[in-house]
Amino acid sequence: MQTKDYKDEFKQKGLKNTKQRAAILEILQESDRPITAEQVYNELKEKNVPVNLSTIYRNFLFLCEKELVNKLALTGESSTFYEINRMVHRHYLVCLGCKKVLAIDDCPLESYEELLAEETNFVITGHKLDIFGYCADCQKKDLNEQHNKNS
């Protein structure tokens, strides 16, 4: 996978281009789903990039401030997740069976947000939508398993 070099973004945003920072951002880029500080830590260990957990947290902080990274909470998870900010508004369709994540291109919420803003007097700045279900493959698997159980 090709990973982007953030050297220019760093300079522009007043961040130094350190080995750790670049490595953290590379891990985030390579991941197709949000990950935790711990997971980044372990991946860097495997790559023999020396880094401390606190450095990862501190970088998450800076990178979120600079909007290169997004921070998100997932229901049922005790840790915070982080993902690279791909600068496109996207939603995800997550298969609860195989954990496959599908990106959805269109967003059904724009007109709804206007309506909601009127009703509540909020200024609406964003939203987060994840949709869950079972993909075609996992539906088949489920059917097979149920069949086996009953036979």
Of DNA, a copy of itself, none, which one sits near residue 64, judging by CB under 5 to 8 A according to partner kind?
none
How far is CA 132 from its chain centroid?
A: 15
Which residues have C-beta within 8 Å of that of residue 114, sequence separation ≥ 6? none
Q: Which is nearer to DNA, 15 or 109 (CB)?
A: 15
Burial class, 10, CB count within 10 angstroms (exposed 0-12 / middle 13-18 / buried 19+): buried
User: Minimum CB separation from a copy of itself for residue 39, in Å?
Assistant: 17
Dihedrals phi, psi of 53, to nearest 5 degrees: -55, -40
Q: By CB under 7 A, is residue 20 in contact with DNA?
A: yes
Q: Which is nearer to DNA, 11 or 47 (CB)?
A: 11
Which residues have C-beta within 8 Å of that of residue 10, sequence separation ≥ 6? 16, 17, 21
Q: By CB under 7 A, is residue 50 in contact with DNA?
A: yes
Q: Which is nearer to a copy of itself, 2 or 75 (CB)?
A: 75
Q: By CB under 8 A, is residue 128 in contact with a copy of itself?
A: yes
Q: Which residues on neighbouring strands pair with residue 146, listed in sequence order?
A: none
Q: Which residues are at the interface with a copy of itself (CB under 8 A)?
A: 71-78, 80, 93, 95-96, 102, 104, 108-109, 112-113, 116-117, 120-136, 139
